[in-house]
Structure 1
Amino acid sequence: MKFVAHAVLGLSFALVNPVVGAAPAAPPARAAAAASAAHVQAVQDLLGAMQAEKVLRGVAARSRYQSQAQRQAVFDKLAKTPPAQVYRRLAPPLARVISADTALEMTRFYQTPYGKQVVHNKYNSASQIMMPGMKTVVPPEEKKERKRAAYVKASAELAQAQPVLEHEAFKLLQLINKEGS
């Protein structure tokens, strides 16, 4: 029943879009840039700096499984998948939503000491209690860094691409799961 509902919904979108005249998904210049090997490599480098393989593990942890054995099998397959392969497979679809400039800027940021700390805290930190009025301590040089126009723009673009990253990670997780079967 759920499949039928999705099929009808998808078919209705396919029939309505040509009549309404939908805008192209990406400007031609952006689409051409997505095909560039250097652009894909820049996104791949960004995924490495972000440790995107951990995003894949997070998606796997939030997914539902029929049994604990199936969950464990998925995590075993992920453990055997090299991080470089994850970056290589995620980069092409993400290059459509992450510009080369953003990839280069955010890779540079994640390779700074503060950027490495941000990545570490994102994946490895336990919950922390913040009392009212408390503020996190950010060194002055990092405050200055976060105000740079290139960083602000790149950070906003990367935040907008986060849902696509999660979706592509889910699709890749399904492929990895099927490959081992």
Structure 2
Amino acid sequence: MKFAVHTVLGLSLVLAAPAFAAPAAAPAPVAAPAAAVAPSAAHVKAVQDLLGAMQVEKLLRGVAGRSRYQSAAQRQAVFAKLDKTPPAEVQRRLAGPLAQVISAETATEMTRFYQTPYGKQLIAQKYDSAPQIVMSGMKPVLAPEEKKERKRAAYVKASKELADAQPAIEREAFQLLQMINKEKR
């Protein structure tokens, strides 16, 4: 058993050595849809609708909860400002920057998905439910129509694009949180 552990550790060091020897490559920038032109009003509206369906204001509260504050009073002040900020304003303010990384087609397809009963269930599980115990090998039970829906080419493509845009969504949410925190309310 010791031999196997030592072998695995030795191989991991050998395989990891080239990664430490070479300088780290700069991360690839998130590709903007098609061209780097300003998104149209319809495109921004589609992204805003997607953010509404995703209940992105709850994501903003999650970002605030994970942030570090100098004191408990500062944390309470930030959450008080978030409570006073309407969800529609959060969606409006995030839609412009996120339209650079989320295509109109993806926004439309994922908005449609999040408005289905299964999509609403996923959003509720993401934001409104308590932590759940997940055992290895467990898979969610999907209705046959949901399985078919999730195999559609448009959904698969849009889901991948939205997953790829997730770091940008988190970054923009954090920046918006900072702006809201600086505002006088």
**Bigger radius of gyration, 1 or 2?**
2
Output the aligned Cα RMSD: 1.9
1:31 pairs with one of 36, 40, 48: 36
Q: Deviations over 1:4-26 (max 9, x none)?
A: xxxxxxxxxxxxxxxxxxx9975
- Deviation, 1:128, is 1.7
CA apart distance, 1:133: 4.0
Letter in 2 for 1:31: A
Q: How does 1:96-107 map to 2 (within 5 A)?
A: 96-107=100-111
Change over 3 Å in CA distance of 1:137–1:39 after alignment to 2: same
Q: Does 1:162 align with 2:166?
A: yes
TM-score by length of 1: 0.82
Identity score, percent: 76
Question: What is the TM-score when the length of structure 2 is the normalising length?
Answer: 0.80
- Tell me how far 1:152 sits from its aligned partner: 0.3
| CA-to-aligned-CA distance 1:16-49 (integer Å, 9 cap, x gap) | xxxxxxx9975684323x4200000000000000
Equivalent position to 1:117, from 118, 121, 129: 121
Structure 1: 5+ residue runs without aligned partners? 1-22
Structure 2 unmatched ranges of 5 or more: 1-27
Conserved 8 A contact 1:30-1:96 = no
How far does residue 125 in structure 1 lie from its aligned partner after superposition?
A: 1.5
Q: Which residue of 1 aligns with 2:15?
A: none
Q: Distance in 1 between matches of 2:135 and 2:33?
A: 49
Between the two proteins, the alignment pairs up a number of residues equal to 158
**CA offsets 1:62-119 (integer angstroms, 9 cap, x no match):** 0000000000000000000000000000001000000000000000000011100010
The structure-2 alpha-carbon separation of the partners of 1:28 and 1:48, relative to structure 1 and needing over 3 Å to count, comes to closer
Match in the other structure for 1:49: 53
Counterpart Cα distance in 2 of 1:89 and 1:169 = 10
Residue 89 (structure 1) aligned to one of 83, 93, 100: 93
Q: Cα deviation per residue 1:138-167 (whole Å; 9 max; x = unaligned)?
A: 111001000000000000000010000000
The aligned counterpart of 1:80 is 84
Paired with 2:46 and 2:66, the residues of 1 have a C-alpha distance of 28
Equivalence for 1:179: 183
Tell me: CA distance 1:139–1:116, structure 2 relative to 1, closer, same or farther (3 Å).
same
Change (3 A) 1:121 1:179: same
Equivalent-residue separation in structure 2 for 1:41 and 1:133 (angstroms): 40
